[in-house]
Amino acid sequence: MKKNKHNTEFYLRLYKQMTKIRVFEDNANQLYLDAKMPGLTHMYSGEEAVAVGICEALRISDKITSTHRGHGHCMAKGANFNQMFCELLGKVEGYCRGKGGSMHIADQANGNLGANAIVGGSMGIATGSALRAKLQKSDDVTVCFFGDGATAQGLMYEVMNMAALWQLPIIYACENNGYSEYTTTEEIAAGSILERARAFGIEAFNVDGQDVIAVNKLASDLVEKARKGKGPFFIELMTYRYHGHHVGDINRTYYRSKKEELDWKNNRDPIQILGSFLESEGIASDAELMEIHSTISREAKDAVDYALNAAYPDTSEVDLHVFQEV
Protein backbone atom coordinates (compact mmCIF):
# COMPACT_ATOMS: atom_id res chain seq x y z
CA MET A 1 0.00 0.00 0.00
CA LYS A 2 1.52 3.29 -1.13
CA LYS A 3 1.61 5.88 1.63
CA ASN A 4 -0.02 9.22 0.97
CA LYS A 5 1.72 12.54 1.61
CA HIS A 6 0.18 12.93 5.03
CA ASN A 7 1.52 9.61 6.19
CA THR A 8 4.91 10.33 4.70
CA GLU A 9 5.35 13.39 6.82
CA PHE A 10 3.93 11.63 9.80
CA TYR A 11 6.30 8.67 9.41
CA LEU A 12 9.26 11.00 9.11
CA ARG A 13 8.10 12.74 12.24
CA LEU A 14 7.95 9.42 14.07
CA TYR A 15 11.49 8.75 12.90
CA LYS A 16 12.73 12.14 14.05
CA GLN A 17 11.07 11.89 17.40
CA MET A 18 12.59 8.50 18.08
CA THR A 19 15.98 9.70 16.93
CA LYS A 20 15.76 12.70 19.21
CA ILE A 21 15.26 10.42 22.18
CA ARG A 22 18.10 8.13 21.20
CA VAL A 23 20.46 11.04 20.68
CA PHE A 24 19.37 12.68 23.91
CA GLU A 25 20.14 9.50 25.83
CA ASP A 26 23.52 9.02 24.17
CA ASN A 27 24.48 12.50 25.25
CA ALA A 28 23.12 12.03 28.75
CA ASN A 29 25.09 8.82 29.10
CA GLN A 30 28.23 10.60 27.94
CA LEU A 31 27.66 13.38 30.45
CA TYR A 32 27.53 10.71 33.14
CA LEU A 33 30.67 8.98 31.89
CA ASP A 34 32.46 12.34 31.82
CA ALA A 35 31.33 12.96 35.40
CA LYS A 36 29.56 16.11 34.30
CA MET A 37 26.10 15.03 35.41
CA PRO A 38 25.17 14.87 39.08
CA GLY A 39 23.69 11.58 40.25
CA LEU A 40 22.45 8.70 38.15
CA THR A 41 19.93 8.40 35.35
CA HIS A 42 17.94 5.69 33.57
CA MET A 43 18.25 5.43 29.79
CA TYR A 44 15.21 4.99 27.55
CA SER A 45 17.25 3.83 24.54
CA GLY A 46 15.61 0.87 22.84
CA GLU A 47 12.13 1.77 23.97
CA GLU A 48 11.59 4.83 21.76
CA ALA A 49 8.73 3.38 19.76
CA VAL A 50 6.63 3.09 22.90
CA ALA A 51 6.74 6.74 23.94
CA VAL A 52 6.66 8.10 20.40
CA GLY A 53 3.98 5.73 19.11
CA ILE A 54 1.70 6.65 21.97
CA CYS A 55 2.42 10.35 22.34
CA GLU A 56 1.92 10.92 18.63
CA ALA A 57 -1.64 9.74 19.17
CA LEU A 58 -2.13 12.52 21.73
CA ARG A 59 -2.71 16.22 21.49
CA ILE A 60 -1.08 18.83 23.65
CA SER A 61 -3.96 19.07 26.12
CA ASP A 62 -3.89 15.33 26.73
CA LYS A 63 -1.87 14.37 29.75
CA ILE A 64 0.79 11.78 30.46
CA THR A 65 2.53 10.61 33.60
CA SER A 66 6.02 9.27 33.35
CA THR A 67 8.54 7.17 35.28
CA HIS A 68 12.11 7.10 36.57
CA ARG A 69 12.97 6.13 32.96
CA GLY A 70 11.24 9.21 31.72
CA HIS A 71 13.33 11.15 29.20
CA GLY A 72 11.62 9.40 26.31
CA HIS A 73 8.12 10.26 27.47
CA CYS A 74 9.12 13.83 28.07
CA MET A 75 10.67 14.34 24.61
CA ALA A 76 7.84 12.48 22.91
CA LYS A 77 5.29 14.80 24.54
CA GLY A 78 7.09 17.83 23.13
CA ALA A 79 9.97 18.82 25.37
CA ASN A 80 13.05 20.55 23.99
CA PHE A 81 16.71 19.66 24.38
CA ASN A 82 17.84 22.81 26.14
CA GLN A 83 15.48 22.69 29.07
CA MET A 84 15.95 18.95 29.43
CA PHE A 85 19.73 19.01 29.55
CA CYS A 86 19.59 21.99 31.88
CA GLU A 87 17.37 19.99 34.22
CA LEU A 88 19.67 16.97 34.11
CA LEU A 89 22.56 19.19 35.08
CA GLY A 90 20.67 21.00 37.85
CA LYS A 91 20.59 24.33 36.09
CA VAL A 92 17.99 27.00 36.72
CA GLU A 93 16.76 27.00 33.13
CA GLY A 94 15.77 23.36 33.40
CA TYR A 95 12.14 22.31 33.28
CA CYS A 96 12.01 22.28 37.08
CA ARG A 97 14.57 25.02 37.70
CA GLY A 98 17.05 22.25 38.51
CA LYS A 99 15.07 21.13 41.51
CA GLY A 100 13.68 17.91 40.04
CA GLY A 101 16.48 16.39 38.01
CA SER A 102 16.15 13.39 35.73
CA MET A 103 13.71 11.50 37.91
CA HIS A 104 11.23 14.35 38.30
CA ILE A 105 11.16 16.14 34.98
CA ALA A 106 7.71 17.59 34.42
CA ASP A 107 6.62 19.67 31.48
CA GLN A 108 3.32 21.15 32.41
CA ALA A 109 2.96 23.16 29.20
CA ASN A 110 3.07 20.04 27.06
CA GLY A 111 0.85 18.00 29.37
CA ASN A 112 3.59 15.93 31.02
CA LEU A 113 2.60 15.71 34.68
CA GLY A 114 5.99 14.43 35.60
CA ALA A 115 8.40 11.60 36.00
CA ASN A 116 8.30 9.78 39.31
CA ALA A 117 11.02 8.16 41.38
CA ILE A 118 8.52 5.99 43.21
CA VAL A 119 7.85 2.96 41.03
CA GLY A 120 4.13 3.02 40.27
CA GLY A 121 3.85 6.31 42.10
CA SER A 122 2.15 8.15 39.29
CA MET A 123 -0.68 5.70 38.69
CA GLY A 124 -2.98 7.56 41.04
CA ILE A 125 -1.99 10.90 39.57
CA ALA A 126 -2.75 9.74 36.03
CA THR A 127 -6.10 8.32 37.05
CA GLY A 128 -6.92 11.53 38.92
CA SER A 129 -6.09 13.54 35.84
CA ALA A 130 -8.58 11.39 33.92
CA LEU A 131 -11.14 11.93 36.66
CA ARG A 132 -10.62 15.67 36.32
CA ALA A 133 -11.26 15.45 32.57
CA LYS A 134 -14.46 13.52 33.18
CA LEU A 135 -15.67 15.96 35.83
CA GLN A 136 -14.94 18.87 33.48
CA LYS A 137 -16.66 17.10 30.60
CA SER A 138 -13.48 17.65 28.60
CA ASP A 139 -12.48 14.96 26.11
CA ASP A 140 -8.82 14.98 27.10
CA VAL A 141 -7.23 11.60 27.60
CA THR A 142 -4.48 10.68 30.05
CA VAL A 143 -1.82 8.05 29.42
CA CYS A 144 -0.07 6.45 32.39
CA PHE A 145 3.33 5.01 31.49
CA PHE A 146 4.87 2.43 33.82
CA GLY A 147 7.15 -0.59 33.70
CA ASP A 148 6.48 -4.28 34.12
CA GLY A 149 7.99 -4.01 37.59
CA ALA A 150 5.38 -1.48 38.61
CA THR A 151 2.63 -4.05 38.13
CA ALA A 152 3.69 -5.39 41.54
CA GLN A 153 2.49 -2.22 43.24
CA GLY A 154 -0.97 -2.59 44.77
CA LEU A 155 -1.82 0.99 43.91
CA MET A 156 -2.24 -0.06 40.27
CA TYR A 157 -5.13 -2.39 41.10
CA GLU A 158 -6.81 0.18 43.32
CA VAL A 159 -6.83 2.83 40.63
CA MET A 160 -7.67 0.48 37.75
CA ASN A 161 -10.71 -0.58 39.75
CA MET A 162 -11.89 3.00 40.11
CA ALA A 163 -11.06 3.84 36.49
CA ALA A 164 -13.15 0.88 35.37
CA LEU A 165 -16.04 1.62 37.75
CA TRP A 166 -16.20 5.23 36.62
CA GLN A 167 -15.21 4.70 32.97
CA LEU A 168 -12.39 7.17 33.07
CA PRO A 169 -10.56 8.35 29.93
CA ILE A 170 -7.23 6.77 30.75
CA ILE A 171 -4.87 4.37 29.04
CA TYR A 172 -2.50 2.33 31.17
CA ALA A 173 0.65 1.72 29.14
CA CYS A 174 2.83 -1.02 30.57
CA GLU A 175 6.34 -0.93 29.12
CA ASN A 176 7.36 -4.53 29.51
CA ASN A 177 11.10 -4.48 28.94
CA GLY A 178 11.60 -7.85 30.56
CA TYR A 179 13.29 -6.59 33.70
CA SER A 180 12.78 -4.61 36.82
CA GLU A 181 16.26 -3.65 37.87
CA TYR A 182 18.19 -6.93 37.89
CA THR A 183 15.25 -9.33 37.94
CA THR A 184 13.30 -10.82 35.05
CA THR A 185 9.60 -10.24 34.69
CA GLU A 186 8.81 -13.95 35.10
CA GLU A 187 10.38 -13.92 38.53
CA ILE A 188 8.18 -11.07 39.75
CA ALA A 189 4.87 -11.43 37.92
CA ALA A 190 2.61 -14.43 38.49
CA GLY A 191 -0.15 -15.21 36.03
CA SER A 192 -0.71 -12.72 33.24
CA ILE A 193 -0.44 -8.94 33.30
CA LEU A 194 -3.09 -8.52 30.61
CA GLU A 195 -5.50 -10.80 32.42
CA ARG A 196 -5.08 -8.72 35.54
CA ALA A 197 -6.40 -5.67 33.73
CA ARG A 198 -9.18 -7.71 32.13
CA ALA A 199 -10.26 -9.05 35.51
CA PHE A 200 -11.15 -5.47 36.40
CA GLY A 201 -13.26 -5.25 33.27
CA ILE A 202 -10.66 -3.29 31.35
CA GLU A 203 -10.05 -4.07 27.67
CA ALA A 204 -6.37 -4.98 27.34
CA PHE A 205 -4.02 -5.35 24.39
CA ASN A 206 -0.55 -6.61 23.70
CA VAL A 207 1.57 -4.93 21.05
CA ASP A 208 5.12 -5.11 19.72
CA GLY A 209 6.73 -2.14 21.41
CA GLN A 210 9.49 -1.97 18.77
CA ASP A 211 7.07 -1.29 15.94
CA VAL A 212 6.21 2.35 16.22
CA ILE A 213 3.53 2.21 13.54
CA ALA A 214 1.75 -0.66 15.25
CA VAL A 215 1.97 1.10 18.58
CA ASN A 216 0.66 4.32 17.11
CA LYS A 217 -2.21 2.63 15.34
CA LEU A 218 -3.41 0.86 18.47
CA ALA A 219 -2.91 3.94 20.60
CA SER A 220 -4.78 6.18 18.16
CA ASP A 221 -7.71 3.77 18.18
CA LEU A 222 -7.88 3.59 21.95
CA VAL A 223 -7.36 7.32 22.45
CA GLU A 224 -10.30 8.03 20.17
CA LYS A 225 -12.46 5.56 22.06
CA ALA A 226 -11.36 6.99 25.40
CA ARG A 227 -12.26 10.49 24.19
CA LYS A 228 -15.76 9.24 23.61
CA GLY A 229 -16.04 7.95 27.16
CA LYS A 230 -15.26 4.31 26.41
CA GLY A 231 -12.15 4.12 28.59
CA PRO A 232 -10.20 2.88 30.41
CA PHE A 233 -7.84 0.70 28.36
CA PHE A 234 -4.66 -1.21 29.06
CA ILE A 235 -1.75 -1.85 26.70
CA GLU A 236 1.22 -4.08 27.33
CA LEU A 237 4.11 -3.07 25.08
CA MET A 238 6.91 -5.60 24.63
CA THR A 239 10.20 -3.76 24.55
CA TYR A 240 13.79 -3.72 25.77
CA ARG A 241 16.22 -1.34 27.39
CA TYR A 242 19.65 -1.28 25.78
CA HIS A 243 21.61 0.13 28.69
CA GLY A 244 21.79 -1.11 32.23
CA HIS A 245 19.06 -0.37 34.73
CA HIS A 246 20.79 2.97 35.21
CA VAL A 247 23.89 4.49 33.66
CA GLY A 248 26.07 2.95 36.35
CA ASP A 249 24.86 -0.63 35.71
CA ILE A 250 27.71 -1.72 33.47
CA ASN A 251 28.43 -5.36 34.32
CA ARG A 252 25.14 -7.06 33.77
CA THR A 253 25.94 -10.49 32.41
CA TYR A 254 24.91 -12.01 35.73
CA TYR A 255 21.32 -11.15 35.01
CA ARG A 256 21.13 -11.03 31.20
CA SER A 257 23.34 -12.23 28.39
CA LYS A 258 25.25 -10.13 25.90
CA LYS A 259 23.66 -12.28 23.23
CA GLU A 260 20.19 -11.26 24.26
CA GLU A 261 21.18 -7.61 24.23
CA LEU A 262 22.73 -7.89 20.81
CA ASP A 263 19.74 -9.68 19.44
CA TRP A 264 17.45 -6.82 20.40
CA LYS A 265 19.83 -4.15 19.22
CA ASN A 266 20.54 -5.79 15.88
CA ASN A 267 17.22 -7.27 15.03
CA ARG A 268 14.56 -5.38 16.91
CA ASP A 269 15.72 -1.81 17.05
CA PRO A 270 12.70 0.48 16.68
CA ILE A 271 14.56 3.16 14.77
CA GLN A 272 16.12 0.68 12.37
CA ILE A 273 12.79 -1.05 11.87
CA LEU A 274 11.08 2.18 10.94
CA GLY A 275 14.11 3.29 8.90
CA SER A 276 14.04 0.11 6.79
CA PHE A 277 10.35 0.57 6.27
CA LEU A 278 10.83 4.18 5.16
CA GLU A 279 13.52 3.11 2.74
CA SER A 280 11.57 0.17 1.37
CA GLU A 281 8.53 2.40 0.87
CA GLY A 282 10.67 4.98 -0.85
CA ILE A 283 9.81 7.61 1.73
CA ALA A 284 13.40 8.34 2.66
CA SER A 285 16.83 7.21 1.55
CA ASP A 286 19.55 5.97 3.84
CA ALA A 287 21.36 9.26 3.30
CA GLU A 288 18.32 11.26 4.26
CA LEU A 289 17.93 9.29 7.43
CA MET A 290 21.63 9.79 8.23
CA GLU A 291 21.10 13.49 7.67
CA ILE A 292 18.22 13.52 10.12
CA HIS A 293 20.45 11.84 12.63
CA SER A 294 23.32 14.27 12.21
CA THR A 295 21.08 17.34 12.34
CA ILE A 296 19.59 16.15 15.59
CA SER A 297 23.04 15.26 16.92
CA ARG A 298 24.24 18.80 16.24
CA GLU A 299 21.18 20.23 17.97
CA ALA A 300 21.85 18.00 20.93
CA LYS A 301 25.50 18.96 21.09
CA ASP A 302 24.55 22.63 21.07
CA ALA A 303 22.05 22.02 23.84
CA VAL A 304 24.63 20.16 25.90
CA ASP A 305 27.06 23.04 25.51
CA TYR A 306 24.33 25.46 26.39
CA ALA A 307 23.40 23.51 29.48
CA LEU A 308 26.98 23.05 30.62
CA ASN A 309 27.44 26.81 30.53
CA ALA A 310 24.05 27.69 31.98
CA ALA A 311 23.65 29.08 35.47
CA TYR A 312 22.82 27.12 38.57
CA PRO A 313 19.87 28.33 40.59
CA ASP A 314 20.61 31.09 43.03
CA THR A 315 21.03 29.73 46.54
CA SER A 316 18.01 31.78 47.59
CA GLU A 317 15.89 29.30 45.60
CA VAL A 318 16.49 26.58 48.14
CA ASP A 319 13.43 27.42 50.21
CA LEU A 320 11.33 28.75 47.38
CA HIS A 321 8.41 26.60 46.13
CA VAL A 322 7.90 24.63 49.31
CA PHE A 323 4.48 26.24 49.30
CA GLN A 324 2.74 28.17 46.59
CA GLU A 325 1.97 31.60 47.98
CA VAL A 326 -1.32 33.11 46.87
Residue 229's binding partner out of ligand TPP, a copy of itself, other proteins, none, with CB under 5 to 8 Å set by partner kind: none
138 vs 183, which CB is nearer to a copy of itself?
Answer: 183
Select from 40, 92, 117, 199 the one that contacts a copy of itself (CB under 8 A). Answer: 199
Binding mask 163-182 for other proteins (x = CB under 8 A): --x--------------xxx
211 vs 236, which CB is nearer to a copy of itself?
Answer: 236
CA distances from 313 to 89, 100, 141, 270 (A): 11, 12, 34, 37
- Contacts with other proteins by CB under 8 A: the residue count is 76
Q: Distance between alpha carbon 271 and the CA centroid of its chain, in Å?
A: 15
DSSP state of 62: S
Q: Does 158 bind other proteins (CB under 8 A)?
A: yes
Nearby residues of 15 by Cβ (< 8 Å), 6 or more positions away: 271, 274, 275, 278, 284, 289, 292
| 3-class SS string, 235-291 | EEEECCCCCCCCCCCCCCCCCCCHHHHHHHHHHCCHHHHHHHHHHHCCCCCHHHHHH
Q: Which residues bind ligand TPP (CB under 6 A)?
A: 68-69, 117-119, 147-150, 175, 177, 179-181, 245
Q: Does 66 bind Mg ion (CB under 5 A)?
A: no
Amino acid (one-letter) located at 35: A
Exposed e or buried b for every residue in 47-73, given b needs 16+ CB within 10 A? bbbbbbbbbbbbeeebbbbbbbbbbbb
45 vs 82, which CB is nearer to Mg ion?
Answer: 45
Write out the binding residues for other proteins, residues 41-80 only, by CB under 8 A: 63, 65
Select from 12, 40, 199, 308 the one that contacts other proteins (CB under 8 A). Answer: 40
Residue 192's binding partner out of Mg ion, a copy of itself, ligand TPP, none, with CB under 5 to 8 Å set by partner kind: a copy of itself
Helices (H) and strands (E) in the chain — how many of each? 12, 7
Q: Does 91 bind other proteins (CB under 8 A)?
A: yes
Q: What angle do CA 54, 123, 96 make, to 5 degrees?
A: 80
- Distance (Å, rounded) from C-alpha 278 to C-alpha 270? 12
- In 155-232, at which residue ranges do the beta strands (DSSP E only) sit? 170-176, 179-180, 183-184, 203-208
Which window, 81-89, 172-180, 261-269, 295-303, contacts Mg ion (CB under 5 A)?
172-180
Residue 318: closest CA among 38, 36, 97: 97
Select from 46, 70, 72, 101 the one that contacts other proteins (CB under 8 A). Answer: 101
Binding mask 122-161 for Mg ion (x = CB under 5 A): -------------------------xxx------------
Nearby residues of 210 by Cβ (< 8 Å), 6 or more positions away: 49, 238, 239, 240, 268, 269, 270, 273
Select from 75, 89, 115, 156 the one that contacts a copy of itself (CB under 8 A). Answer: 156
- Contacts with a copy of itself by CB under 8 A: the residue count is 25
49 vs 133, which CB is nearer to ligand TPP?
Answer: 49
Q: Does 253 bind other proteins (CB under 8 A)?
A: no
Strands 170-176 and 142-147: parallel
Select from 9, 158, 291, 305 the one that contacts a copy of itself (CB under 8 A). Answer: 158
User: Is the separation of the CB atoms in 52 and 12 below 8 Å?
Assistant: no
CA distances from 15 to 57, 75, 213, 264, 296 (A): 15, 13, 10, 18, 11
Q: Does 188 bind a copy of itself (CB under 8 A)?
A: yes
Binding mask 192-231 for other proteins (x = CB under 8 A): ----------------------------------------
Q: Does 155 bind a copy of itself (CB under 8 A)?
A: yes
Shortest Cβ distance from residue 57 to a copy of itself (Å)? 25
Binding site for Mg ion (CB under 5 A): 147-149, 177, 180
